[in-house]
């Protein structure tokens, strides 16, 4: 009997030791397990939820979340093989509208906190893309943090969960005075020796778009030197130029020449009126007012219909830098 009692006591002691060991192990591991286990780790940082917006033009954006289990840091730079023009942008609200601008000093990553890049807020802006980005692609992004250093992540391309580009929840209900909804395509505009026809603006879900048209001249040579619109204060005259096997977009110095008794065509993949930092996205059926400034003829205001771009870059069907048909804008004497 005494032996039996001793055996039972020994068994209880062993069970108690075993249970105590498990509790100690749980306590030790509980504090050391990071809150976020998925994603890419660099030092105290974990990058997760990364994605890139698909685009049919030369501009896109990347979004992600950075969890920080240590001291404060900052995302100060980003780069990608897709373009040499990558900026850290923020969207800020001014009255009833919002605008996009570069974020001085980069994006702060608070100590023991989180940084979130999302549409309508902080985002990594990629401009002058060598080719449009399509759903299913993977984009290589190198992120540079002030303290943690550099890390490269592979980022999937997928559709925005909402309208994207600018956050409509913060945009307000303001509609630019130069727009109307679902209007008929505007007709030709003639002033002096010039006639503007086939004018249209690309529909966009982000803060960048472009306008296209044909300008016919029955008199002496002229030049389109500037353009403006109520949609944004940032309007530039751009061209697409070939650079070896790829193409890039850049401002056109001196503007677009309109030859005597000839015409100039603004089209995707060639000359175009670039509108950046839009107050809000341009929607299908919208009418956009554009003022064109010519060196000799002066100013003329036209209305252009917004519509989707049905192809990639006109003439190639494959996008920038992916085949032929990228030629410069036409400036054809005579009719």
Provide φ and ψ at 84, rounded to 5°.
-95, 0
Question: DSSP assignment, residue 185?
Answer: P
Judge whether residue 94 has pLDDT over 90.
no
- Nearby residues of 322 by Cβ (< 8 Å), 6 or more positions away: 131, 316
In sign, the C-alpha dihedral spanning 194, 312, 204, 89 is negative
Give strand ranges (E) for 58-102: 60-68, 73-79, 85-94, 97-102
Read off the pLDDT band of 2 (50, 70, 90): low
- What average pLDDT does the segment 119-147 reach? 92
- What count of residues does the chain have? 335
- What average pLDDT does the segment 319-324 reach? 30
Read off the pLDDT band of 136 (50, 70, 90): very high
Which range is least confidently modeled, 52-56, 128-132, 171-175, 299-303?
171-175
Spell out the domains of the chain, with CATH numbers in brackets: 40-170 (2.60.40.1890), 189-333 (2.60.40.1890)
% the chain with pLDDT above 70: 71
pLDDT tens digits, 12-40: 443 333 333 333 333 333 333 233 346 89
- What average pLDDT does the segment 100-104 reach? 85
Judge whether residue 159 has pLDDT over 90.
no
Instruction: Say what the pTM is.
Output: 0.44
Judge whether residue 43 has pLDDT over 70.
yes
Instruction: Specify the pairing of strand 85-94 against strand 60-68.
Output: unpaired
């Amino acid at each position: 009997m005494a032996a039996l009692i001793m055996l039972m006591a020994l068994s209880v002691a062993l069970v108690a030791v075993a249970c105590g060991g498990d509790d100690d192990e749980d306590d030790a591991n509980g504090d050391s397990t990071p809150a976020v286990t998925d994603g890419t780790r660099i030092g105290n940082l974990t990058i997760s939820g990364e994605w890139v917006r698909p685009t049919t033009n030369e501009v896109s954006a990347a979004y992600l979340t950075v969890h920080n289990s240590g001291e404060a840091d900052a995302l100060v730079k980003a780069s990608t093989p897709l373009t040499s023009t990558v900026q850290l942008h923020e969207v800020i609200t001014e009255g009833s509208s919002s605008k996009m601008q570069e974020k001085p000093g980069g994006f702060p990553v608070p100590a023991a906190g989180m940084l979130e890049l999302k549409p309508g807020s902080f985002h990594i802006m990629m401009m002058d893309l060598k080719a449009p980005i399509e759903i299913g692609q993977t984009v290589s992004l190198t992120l540079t943090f002030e303290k943690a250093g550099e890390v490269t992540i592979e980022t999937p391309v997928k559709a925005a969960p909402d309208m994207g580009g600018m956050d409509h929840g913060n945009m307000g209900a303001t509609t630019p005075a130069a727009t109307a909804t679902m209007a008929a395509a505007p007709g030709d505009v003639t002033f002096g020796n010039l006639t503007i026809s086939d004018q249209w603006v690309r529909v966009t879900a982000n803060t960048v778009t472009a306008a296209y048209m044909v300008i016919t001249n029955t008199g002496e040579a002229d030049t389109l030197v500037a353009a403006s619109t109520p949609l944004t204060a940032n309007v530039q005259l751009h061209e697409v130029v070939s650079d070896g096997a790829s193409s890039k977009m850049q401002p056109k110095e001196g503007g677009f020449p309109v030859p005597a008794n000839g015409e100039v065509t603004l089209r995707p993949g060639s000359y175009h009126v670039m509108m950046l930092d839009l107050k809000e996205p341009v929607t299908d059926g919208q009418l956009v007012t554009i003022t064109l400034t010519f060196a000799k003829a002066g100013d003329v205001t036209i209305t252009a219909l917004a519509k989707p771009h049905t192809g990639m870059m006109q003439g190639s069907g494959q996008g920038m830098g992916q085949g032929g048909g990228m030629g410069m804008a036409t400036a054809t004497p005579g009719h």
